[in-house]
Structure 1
Amino acid sequence: MTLQEYNMIHNDEDDEEFLQRYRKQRMEEMRQQLYSGQQFKQVFEISSGEAFLDTVDKEHKSTLIMIHIYEDDIPGTESLNGCMICLAAEYPTVKFCRVKSSLIGASTRFTNNALPALLVYKAGELIGNFVRITDQLGEDFFAVDLEAFLQECGLLPEKDLVLLTSIRNPSACYSEDSDLEID
C-alpha cells in the first residue's frame, strides 16, 4: 500500500465520520423544528366576526386552521362537533375552531342551506371549503370518516409526523376522559 492509497482510505473514513455527524445533526435540527410548533389539542370557540378574522389572519403561517361554522339545530352539527374534538387530540398541531353562523353575520339563506360548513385555512388563505359537509359524509358520521375525507383532500398533516410528536410527548395521547380501557 502506498502512502497515497493510505491517505485516501483515511480520508474516506474521515468523510464517512463527517457525513454521519452531519446526518445526526441535521436529524436533530429537523426534530427540533417539528416539535417546536404550537400544540392546540382542543376545539376553540370563536366569539365574533372579528375573532374569526383574527383566528385566520394572526395565526402562524404554517398553522393549519379548520373552522366549523354551525348552528345547534342543523343536522350533522353534533357529529361534526364530536369529530373535531377527536381530531384535535389526534392532530395537536392543527388548530380546530368552531363558530356560530349568527355570530359572524351569515345570512339566513346561508345558515339554512350551507351548514354545517368546514373551512380550512393556511397562511391566511382558504384552502378547503366544504359547505353542507353532510352531503359528503351524511348526517351521522365519525371522526375516522372526517379524517379519511380530509386526508383524501390532502388537508391533514402526515400521520407519521403526528405520531412522532405524540411519541415525543405521550401526554398528548392520554386523556382522563378516554373511552379506551386496558385491563
Structure 2
Amino acid sequence: MQELMHQANLKKKFGQIVFLGTGQEFLDSIDKEDKTVTIIVHVYYEDHVEPCRILNECLKKLSKIYETVKFGAIIASTAGVSKKFKSDRVPASTCCLENFVRLTDDLGERFEVEDVQNFLVEHRLLEDKSLTPALVKSSAADESDDSD
C-alpha cells in the first residue's frame, strides 16, 4: 500500500487551469505532455458567454482537487476551430481533438462545480474521489501540507 501511495505522489502535479493563447499552445499542451497525463481542455466561444465563464470557474476549482489532471481553456477562434463552435453550442470540453461535447445539453445553463465533476467522473475523465480510501486521502493531505 505504501508503494502505491509513493507512486501516486510521484505523479506530475498541475493544480491550476492554463489559459492557452494560441492554437500552437493548444496543440503543444496536448502533444508535448506525457501520455499518462489526463488532459481536459475547455474549448469555448467567448468569456462573455455565461456558461463558458461558469465552466472556466468550475475547472479552476477542479484543478485544485485533481492536481494530476492538466486543465486548459482556449477560445475556439484562437484554437482555429471556430467553424465548429457557435455561441449556442457551448461550452465544450475535449479530451482529445475529435471528441467535442456540448456540456449544456447535459448540465443545463446553470450548473455548479459538483455537476461538472460528476459529469467528468461519469464519463471516466476524472476519478471518483468518493472511492478513494481514507488512508490515501490522509497521506495525500499530509504530503500537501509538507510542501506548503
Query: Do these two structures clear the TM 0.5 threshold for a shared fold by scoring above it?
Result: yes
- Taking the TM superposition and a 5 Å limit, the aligned residue runs for 1:4-83 are 27-70=1-44, 71-83=46-58
1:111 alignment counterpart: 86
SS of residue paired to 2:42: strand
Higher gyration radius (CA) = 1
What is the TM-score with the length of structure 2 in the denominator?
Answer: 0.83
Give RMSD over aligned pairs: 2.5
2:143 to 169, 177, 181: 169
Name 1:129's counterpart in structure 2. Answer: 100
Task: Return closer, same or farther for 1:147/1:87 CA change in 2, 3 Å cut-off.
Answer: same
Question: What is the rounded CA distance, in whole Å, between the counterparts of 2:38 and 2:85 in structure 1?
Answer: 24
- AA at the equivalent of 2:47: D
List runs of 5+ in structure 2 lacking aligned partners.
none
* Helix, strand or coil at the partner of 1:85: helix
1:44/1:141 Cα in 2 relative to 1: closer, same or farther (>3 Å)?
Answer: same
Q: Which residue of 2 aligns with 1:19?
A: none
What amino acid sits opposite 1:40 in the alignment? F
Distance 2:58 2:139 in 1: 21
TM-score, length basis structure 1: 0.68
**Partner deviation per Cα, 1:118-156 (whole Å, 9 max, x = no partner):** 0124xxx76x531x2111111221110111111111211
| AA at the equivalent of 1:92 | E
Matched residue of 1:99: which SS? strand
Question: Shift of the alpha carbon at 1:32?
Answer: 2.2
Aligned residues: 142
The one of the two structures with greater contact order (alpha-carbon pairs below 8 A, sep at least 6) is: 2
